[in-house]
Structure 1
Amino acid sequence: MNYKILVDSCCDLPQDLRKESRFTIVPLTMEIDGEVIVDDETFDRQEYLRKMKKSLKTPKTACPSPEEYKRHFEGEEENIFVVTLSDKLSGSYNSAVLAKSLYEEEHSDKNIVIFNSFSASSGEVLIALKVDALAKAGESAESIESTVNAYIDEMSTYFVLESLDNLKKAGRLTNVQALVANVLNIKPVMGANNDGTIKKIDQARGVKKALKRMTEIIGEEKDKLNEKILVIAQCNCVERAKALKDDLLEKYTFKDIIIVETAGISTTYAYDGGIVVAV
């Protein structure tokens, strides 16, 4: 199949795949204290974390425009697959859908399939990997669309963060009831609903115990783990991610576990020390 995969920059692809020509990352932007930062290969996570810690304001984020997506539809590839953030968390999906409509008004030479991840970060990675594997196997665009949408329905996303402040201030926790005060060091185990909104699953005292509880929840909620890939996205806490991977492998068997670094958008909301898992 002649194809390419577009992902928005909340998809924290492994570094080796970022270099592959069949993958294109369409950047979102962040704005902090009047400075606009593009979430592309120039993004400096350590410097961005420093700016966030120094600032009194929560960063603002903006999705790619329809024109930006439309520009990436150009090229020789006959099949284009797009993976975006949940439409409940960003306008990225709607921008991609509008871009497809605009492109198809002028052209009829491509199959363009857009996937609403109903997730973010590591969830988008899993979807992009699934699309890539099916396309490499020679599946048709129609078959890939059907298979991947079923895969999205079965996928789960979990996260444990040091701080939920940026998510709360940005309105991403609208449907989540008040959480326990930070002074108690209670860390919630969060997840995604089927519609891509955020929910609280459980809680524990401290990040380590919250991650242990998340590991247990994965075993309780998911089956056939030996057939699944699990992706851990970590924000400036690679040792924490490695410890989580070890804990998961001590309890369960997976097809693979991949650790990735958060780029700009994921860093904005996961913040320093955050972990996002998809399986």
Structure 2
Amino acid sequence: MKIALIADSTAYLTQDQVERFKVNVIDLNVLFGNEVTKESEMNVTSFYERMRNEKELPTTSQPAIGDYVQLLESLKQDGYTDAIAIHLSSGISGTYQNAITAGSMVEGINMHAIDSEIACMPAGFYTAKAAELIEAEVPVTQIVSAIETLKSETAAYFLVDDLKNLHKGGRLTGAQAFIGSMLQVKPILHFVDTKIVPFDKVRTKKKAMKQIESLIADFVGDETFTGTIIHGNCEAEAKAWLNALQEKYPDVRFVLSHFGPVIGTHLGENALGFGVTKSKLNI
């Protein structure tokens, strides 16, 4: 048995992580009008600048079935018998379903698709765990089971800073966005049953960050965990938050990550996220 590991671009793994974990990354796409670009080919800073100046939001799309089939055919040619694919939550993307469909179209390699039910670096945590278990030659069914277990031990909250994207995307009226901005209202979002939904609305970003810290502290309790701070083109602010958390939890491994174009389209610029998993990961 030879197991390949697949993740999609919305885990926002670094090049070092991709190489260390031996991950095959398949891209989602971003569309400005009729202009389609694979996510990994976009400069993130330039994307946010363009989105800021466009009247309409870009749209996003899952990987084409043909691209996925081509990837699986290539893996089969390289001698892989199985592929574990960890994808963006099925409640916000069809990528997971595309993995299943592509797997049914390619004979000679067994597809084990996992719906992360989350997004960004928290999904990357599952990829890191799977890589560790593949390296240890754990049977594929046990790896899938371990990732499913890890899902219940993982949590993340996301803070929307700029309400313009929610307005452009039709989730807020112009009046709601204007009043919310005036009052410095910051929506806190999280995943429930594969979908990203509102958790609370808090006045001021600082208070929202403190509330997220409290929610995560309650979730992890006294257990060991790995953490990530994720940002939407506001790296300095994210680093400052991570450094403060590192002082609070000196024995915890924290990683800095970002919201790339696909997720950034929905959360907007200057969004922040805090995710954890109750496992000590080498990520």
TM-score where L is the length of structure 1? 0.87
- Contact 2:86/2:113 (<8 A) preserved: yes
Show the 5 A alignment for 1:104-183.
107=107, 109-166=108-165, 170=169, 181-183=180-182
Deviations, residues 16-41 of structure 1 (Å, cap 9, x unaligned): 1234582111111111133222112x
CA offsets 1:188-213 (integer angstroms, 9 cap, x no match):
222111x1112333333222221122
Structure 1's 278 and 81: CA in aligned 2 closer, same or farther, altered over 3 A? same
Instruction: Work out whether 1:85 is the aligned partner of 2:88.
Output: yes
Q: 1:225-264 to 2 correspondence within 5 Å? A: 225-226=223-224, 228-252=225-249, 255-264=252-261
Equivalent position amino acid for 1:140 in 2: P
Question: For residues 168 and 92 of structure 1, what CA distance do their matches in structure 2 show?
Answer: 26
Structure 1 residue 274 corresponds to structure 2 residue 277: no
Q: Percent identity?
A: 24
Which of 73-82 and 111-120 deviates more? 73-82
Cα distance change of structure 1 residues 159 and 43 upon mapping to structure 2, 3 Å threshold: same
SS of 2:211's partner is: helix
After superposition, the C-alpha distances for 1:29-64 in whole angstroms (9 at most, x for unaligned) are: 111133222112x21112111211111101111101
Q: Could you tell me how far 1:85 is from its partner in structure 2?
A: 1.0
Partner of 1:101: 104
1:175-194 superposed matches below 5 A: 181-193=180-192
1:215 to 213, 216, 229: 213
1:28 aligned partner: 28
**RMSD of aligned alpha carbons:** 2.3
Equivalent runs, 1:29-48 vs 2, <5 Å: 29-40=29-40, 42-48=41-47
Letter in 2 for 1:220: D
- Aligned residues of 1:161 and 1:187 also touching (Cα < 8 A): yes
Report what 2:279 is aligned to. Answer: none
Quote the Cα distance in structure 1 between the aligned partners of 2:21 and 2:191: 31
How far residue 254 of structure 1 moved from its aligned partner, in angstroms, is 5.2
Is 1:64 equivalent to 2:63 in the alignment? yes
Structure 1 spans left out of the alignment, 5+ residues: none
Q: Distance in 2 between matches of 1:23 and 1:192?
A: 25
Q: Does the aligned pair in 2 maintain the 1:6–1:26 contact within 8 Å?
A: yes
- 1:206 is matched with which residue: 200, 204, 208? 204
5+ long unaligned stretches in structure 2 = 277-283
* Maintained 8 Å contact 1:189/1:210: yes
Q: The residue matched to 2:80 in structure 1 has which SS?
A: coil
Distance in 2 (alpha carbons) for counterparts of 1:170 and 1:129 = 33
Letter in 2 for 1:244: W
Cα pair 2:157 2:189 within 8 Å, conserved: yes
Give the TM-score of the pair, scaled to structure 2.
0.86
- Counterpart in the other structure of 2:8: 8
Deviations 1:156-196 (A, max 9, x none): 1211121254356557x69xxx8972220011222111x11
CA distance in 2 between counterparts of 1:111 and 1:143 reads 15
Rounded to whole Å, the distance in 1 between the matches of 2:194 and 2:167 is 16
Evaluate the alpha carbon distance shift between residue 89 and residue 135 of structure 1 in structure 2; reply closer, same or farther with a 3 A threshold.
Answer: same
Determine if contact 1:85/1:119 at 8 Å carries over to the other structure: yes
Q: Which deviates more from structure 2 when the two are superposed, residues 264-273 or residues 84-93?
A: 264-273
Which deviations, in whole Å up to 9, do the C-alpha atoms of 1:129-163 show, x marking residues without a partner? 11111111221100001111111122112111212
Amino acid in the other structure paired with 2:27: P
- Contact in 2 for aligned 1:234/1:241 (Cα 8 Å): yes
Letter in 1 for 2:49: R
